[in-house]
Structure 1
Amino acid sequence: MTVITPYSPRPRLPLSGGCLRLGAGLTLVAALGLAALPAQAQQLPSFRNLVKKVVPAVVSIAVTESAAAAAADDGGDQGAEPTPADRHQKVFGAGSGFIIDPSGIIVTNDHVVGGASKITVSLADGTQLPAKILGVDQLTDIAVIKVTADKPLPYVSWGDSRQVEVGDWIMVAGNPFGLGNTVTAGIISARGRDIMSGPFDDFLQLDAPINPGNSGGPAFDLNGGVVGVDTAIISPTGGSVGIGFAIPSEIAEGVVSVLEQHGHLDRGWLGVGLADDDSGDGVRVTMVEATGPAGHSGLRAGDRILSVDARKVDTALGLIRAVAEIHPGQRAHVSFSRHGRVFAANVTIGLRPETQSE
């Protein structure tokens, strides 16, 4: 059965001993069978200048954590008390990341470093540095970590994912299977993908080969801007079949900025259950938590929310995102319809719990 698989959920790769290492060489996996199509190949872009420009800022990440923590991450028996042997046993994982500031600020995935007891970052020149976590956001699978070096580090800048279209070329760089310093090329296959991993799914779909260990690595546009953070693949085998997903920069950049400054991200919450409606007339409220923000403001099951702070909403996902962007404690003007009449309520937005209705 084809399954959606986060492609570096602590892949248990040996980081020493029998692990094949290819040094710092770069590998470009080109698409479309270029060797068999020399005439067409002349019309396709070369990525060599882009590689030289951005790959020095791409890093490999190795993590260790206790076996007990790994079991909890993987859905193990969290109620069982770990034995002394469990607490000291270590497991290994690998992933990727990219430097966004010469002081050593690095972006990666939460599922790469979340819960790690030790993080080691390998730079493109082979330098290894310990890293600390500045902040993580599980709902978008983004983490920010930091290393300290004796000199400014190479870095890359954010691109604008709103400007990339289906069919545009992208290049992915990272650490697949622990090999390090590998780049692959492909195109944007689709936008706005919801892979049912969370309420904020809005992924870019890529056909560039990405594999276990690429998690947290960057997807670049041809100008060298980071337009996506690689996070998941669909695969029946766990390896690349040409369907990968990246968090678009329009989402990732804002999350990273907040995590860098505050270490966590507070999102707004209404306290309602929601359902889309074919009528297109707002979003239907299916349930209201009596003690939640919406309940205190008089909203009821059966109401249709039309807008939040004059921002029209016509899908449950759109409403969730609109509310999430409002800082908890702020008041929002919510327009809704009930039995054909339009009403308004000033709702004091709450803090979104980890698990709850919207």
Structure 2
Amino acid sequence: MSKKLIALIILIIFVLVVAVDLVIGNYISARLSTTNWAREWGLFNPQAPIVVTNRETVRINSNNDVVDTAENAKSKTATLVYIDGAEMVATGSAVNWTSDGYFVTSDSALSVGGKVYAVITSGGDLFPVEAAYPDPASNIVVLQTAARGLTVFSLAEESDLRVGNQVVMVQNSVGNNQTSFYTGFVKRLSNDISGITFESDIISRSMELTLLEPVPAGSAVLNLSGRMIGIWDGEAVVPAESVRELVNNLLANGREYARPAFGFSYQMLNEVESKALQTERGARVLAVVANNAASRGGLRAGDVITEVDGQRINDNFNLDNWLRQVKPAQSVNFSVFRAGSTVSLIIVAEEL
């Protein structure tokens, strides 16, 4: 038998083995994976935990994206603690926001009153909180410390997210040199505003998550590229863009917030809803607080706001964000649809 013939036979056998494995092997594996002993032993679907330490990443799970995200995030987050006698109590997470010592967290992570709080960075350095600035329009608190040289997250665009996408949250542990992380899935995006009641004076847009376990308040919420989507405030995700806006508001006004107050609640009407209600598209006013800016300006429950300062309100117009850009004492022109006709109102924003 010639060498060429032997090589040809070997090649044919190899091709047949590969073909059988592709066609039948997956079928056999699938059948075996449904047996009780295979599921009990986890032979075809191992469920090993993932451990990330401050020294190394131990990869014992195939989900490398989650591991890499947690590994890269730990230097950009801190643990919030307070000192109680001889004990140090961890209360939540804080996110490095600027390189010169500002952190962002949730007010629920500062819920124990009368305590001296501090942040512990991923490197183990402890910095007492010198000042805390709670935002009157959200559950976010900005913390000032003496830390320097902090690394910070890049912010993600929520438009890149989809419902069902996986997200990661990270908390550095105190004392055991490990980073705990949590995973969840996007349940509702902040731009899904159907049926949502907005309050004119607070950040009403938030992202909802389906969580696999409780997550510490103040944790950064990250996509699998490691970019920050927002801050977990204990109930929902405050979008990163809203956090950036409130921090800029604070620092631009000498560490004081300049938040406008109007005093009304509303729901956005899309084209289908406005046709069903036989009214204009816009923001339907649900309630107006007495003796507040909106009531003094003549706004009424049942009005549909169609324009603000000449800008038409539609699905692409973020009225919630636009109202927060107004400065206290600033006059705003409202066009409202009321009883079949358009009415012009001037409302002077007050201070929250």
Q: TM-score, normalised by structure 1?
A: 0.64
Q: Give the aligned length.
A: 284
The match for 2:237 is: 246
- Which of the residues 206, 211, 214 maps onto 2:214? 211
Task: Please say if residues 61 and 121 of structure 1, whose CA atoms lie closer than 8 Å, have aligned partners that are also in contact.
Answer: yes
String of CA shifts for 1:301-346, please: whole Å, max 9, x gaps. 554322222344479xx75654333111112120012331212223
User: In terms of mean alpha carbon deviation, does 201-210 or 55-64 score higher?
Assistant: 201-210
Task: Please say if residues 29 and 184 of structure 1, whose CA atoms lie closer than 8 Å, have aligned partners that are also in contact.
Answer: no
Going by fraction, where is helix more abundant, 1 or 2?
Answer: 2
Task: Please say if residues 130 and 145 of structure 2, whose CA atoms lie closer than 8 Å, have aligned partners that are also in contact.
Answer: yes
The match for 2:247 is: 256
String of CA shifts for 1:8-42, please: whole Å, max 9, x gaps. xxxxxxxxxxxxxx996599999xxx97xxxxx4x
**Alpha-carbon spacing, 1:178–1:229, altered in 2? closer, same or farther (3 Å):** farther
When Rg is computed on C-alpha atoms for both structures, the one with the higher figure is 2
**Alpha-carbon spacing, 1:113–1:138, altered in 2? closer, same or farther (3 Å):** farther
String of CA shifts for 1:141-200, please: whole Å, max 9, x gaps. 111112224x52333232222322223332210158997621233432322389999753
Distance 2:345 2:198 in 1: 32
Aligned-CA RMSD value: 4.0
**Alpha-carbon spacing, 1:348–1:169, altered in 2? closer, same or farther (3 Å):** same
Task: Please say if residues 52 and 70 of structure 2, whose CA atoms lie closer than 8 Å, have aligned partners that are also in contact.
Answer: no
SS of the residue aligned with 2:189? Answer: strand
Say whether residues 1:121 and 2:119 are aligned partners.
yes
Distance 1:101 1:224 in 2: 17
Distance 1:178 1:246 in 2: 28
Partner amino acid, structure 2, of 1:229: I
**Alpha-carbon spacing, 1:270–1:56, altered in 2? closer, same or farther (3 Å):** closer
Distance 1:200 1:135 in 2: 16
Structure 1 residues 128-277: aligned runs within 5 Å = 128-149=126-147, 152-174=149-171, 181-192=179-190, 199-211=202-214, 214-233=216-235, 245-262=236-253, 263-272=255-264, 274=266
Task: Please say if residues 286 and 301 of structure 2, whose CA atoms lie closer than 8 Å, have aligned partners that are also in contact.
Answer: yes
Quote how far apart the aligned CAs of 1:94 are: 0.9
Task: Please say if residues 335 and 342 of structure 1, whose CA atoms lie closer than 8 Å, have aligned partners that are also in contact.
Answer: yes
Distance 1:312 1:342 in 2: 13
Q: TM-score, normalised by structure 2?
A: 0.65
Task: Please say if residues 327 and 349 of structure 1, whose CA atoms lie closer than 8 Å, have aligned partners that are also in contact.
Answer: yes
Say whether residues 1:102 and 2:93 are aligned partners.
no
SS of the residue aligned with 1:47? Answer: helix
**Alpha-carbon spacing, 1:126–1:288, altered in 2? closer, same or farther (3 Å):** closer
Quote how far apart the aligned CAs of 1:49 are: 3.3
Distance 1:314 1:285 in 2: 15
String of CA shifts for 1:29-65, please: whole Å, max 9, x gaps. 99xxx97xxxxx4xx5433433332211211111359
Distance 1:203 1:287 in 2: 21
Distance 1:155 1:310 in 2: 38
Task: Please say if residues 90 and 174 of structure 2, whose CA atoms lie closer than 8 Å, have aligned partners that are also in contact.
Answer: no
User: In terms of mean alpha carbon deviation, does 274-283 or 183-192 score higher?
Assistant: 274-283
SS of the residue aligned with 1:121? Answer: strand
The match for 2:66 is: 47
Partner amino acid, structure 2, of 1:270: F
User: In terms of mean alpha carbon deviation, does 102-111 or 173-182 score higher?
Assistant: 173-182
Distance 2:230 2:293 in 1: 34
Distance 2:294 2:300 in 1: 8
> Using CA pairs below 8 Å that are at least 6 residues apart, which structure has the higher relative contact order?
1
Partner amino acid, structure 1, of 2:93: S
Quote how far apart the aligned CAs of 1:300 are: 4.5
Distance 2:209 2:175 in 1: 21
**Alpha-carbon spacing, 1:345–1:60, altered in 2? closer, same or farther (3 Å):** same
Task: Please say if residues 144 and 260 of structure 1, whose CA atoms lie closer than 8 Å, have aligned partners that are also in contact.
Answer: no
String of CA shifts for 1:92-124, please: whole Å, max 9, x gaps. 551101212222221111222365541121111
SS of the residue aligned with 2:129? Answer: strand
Task: Please say if residues 131 and 145 of structure 2, whose CA atoms lie closer than 8 Å, have aligned partners that are also in contact.
Answer: no
The match for 2:345 is: 345
Task: Please say if residues 269 and 350 of structure 1, whose CA atoms lie closer than 8 Å, have aligned partners that are also in contact.
Answer: yes
Distance 2:153 2:260 in 1: 31
Distance 1:51 1:296 in 2: 51
**Alpha-carbon spacing, 1:116–1:144, altered in 2? closer, same or farther (3 Å):** farther
Q: Which runs of 5+ in 1 are unaligned?
A: 1-21, 36-40, 66-87, 234-244, 353-358
Distance 1:122 1:289 in 2: 42
**Alpha-carbon spacing, 1:311–1:128, altered in 2? closer, same or farther (3 Å):** same
Structure 1 residues 15-54: aligned runs within 5 Å = 41=62, 44-54=63-73
Task: Please say if residues 205 and 320 of structure 2, whose CA atoms lie closer than 8 Å, have aligned partners that are also in contact.
Answer: no
Q: Which runs of 5+ in 2 are unaligned?
A: 1-50
